[in-house]
Amino acid sequence: MGASNNTTKCALYLSVFSVLLFVIAFSTPYWLVTDGRLQNPRFTNLGLWEVCFQQFQDIHRFYDNRFNGCMWVFEEEYYIIHDFLLPGFYIAVQFFATLCLVMCIIIVPLTIAFLRTSRSDDRYMVLLLAIGSCQVVGSVLGFIAVVIFGAKGDSRDWMPGWQNNDMGWSFALGVVGAVLLMPAGVLNMVEARRERYKRLNEISNREVSEYGDDYYQEQAKEAAMPSTSAQSYFAPEPSRPRRPQPGVTPTAPPHGGIQTDI
């Protein structure tokens, strides 16, 4: 199993929890809601892809259309109010949130492959880096989306009854999910870096061990073999004729012999 220590297990739990929260936030229409204080609010709630109205009529247009119920924001009936319903910041929120969701979708198969990979596998470190990178990038993208929506979502020039509009629970889940992706990614990348150094140390220790064995084997062979210089040093010197003493007649050595007396 890939999650074999506390670091990877903690990163796995954070990843699953954050991805689940962001997927729920992405698909639910409660990013902006009315607080319920108005008797007949024209706007009730809104998500990234769905908006709910009650007898809503755009006062800036000369149309008699009144919108009721919840519909997709790109519905054909909303065409006449697209410039009001889809301002630039809202499109930016949809864009960055979608990119974050794409990162979350990529994380799922990578995590499954990681869980089926042993620690000794060469893909172990690569999967950790890939998962961690996707989580960090997804966290940044999701955080940008929630920051933009938090700054502009309840502004007075967008949805009616802005004094009574508040951020909903879908927005809160999106914030928590986007934020928790970051520590999960950092933990995975830290574990990948630790595994890389561990493998480098194992390789270097193996090389040193192999080199040391060869070195000591060569030293043992050299110690077992007699040295040529030592042999030549301790070899007996050849005898040579000695100088006769004064007044003594040297005795001729026998044929083939060497005179050694003084």
The stretch 124-128 carries a mean pLDDT of: 85
- Order of strands across the sheet with 67-72? 67-72, 50-56, 43-46, 32-34, 165-167
Closest CA to 135 of 17, 2, 3: 17
Of the chain, the end-to-end C-alpha distance in Å amounts to 92
More confident residue, 127 or 246: 127
Q: What is the pLDDT of residues 232-261, one digit of tens each?
A: 555 555 555 555 555 555 555 555 555 544
- Range with the poorest average pLDDT among 104-118, 151-165, 177-191: 151-165
CA distance 6 to 191: 10
CA 237 to the chain's CA centroid: 77
Q: What is the pLDDT of residues 171-180, one digit of tens each?
A: 999 999 999 9
More confident residue, 76 or 91: 91
Report the mean per-residue pLDDT for the chain: 79
Secondary structure (H, E, C), 187-198:
HHHHHHHHHHHH
Q: What is the pLDDT of residues 1-24, one digit of tens each?
A: 555 678 888 889 999 999 999 999
The stretch 133-145 carries a mean pLDDT of: 94
- Range with the poorest average pLDDT among 14-23, 188-197, 203-212: 203-212
More confident residue, 231 or 167: 167
What domains appear along the chain, each with residue ranges and CATH number? Answer: 6-207 (1.20.140.150)
pLDDT at residue 71 greater than cutoff 70: yes
CB of 138 within 8 A of CB of 105?
no
CA 24 to the chain's CA centroid: 24
**Percent of the chain beyond pLDDT 70?**
71
More confident residue, 158 or 27: 27
The stretch 173-195 carries a mean pLDDT of: 90
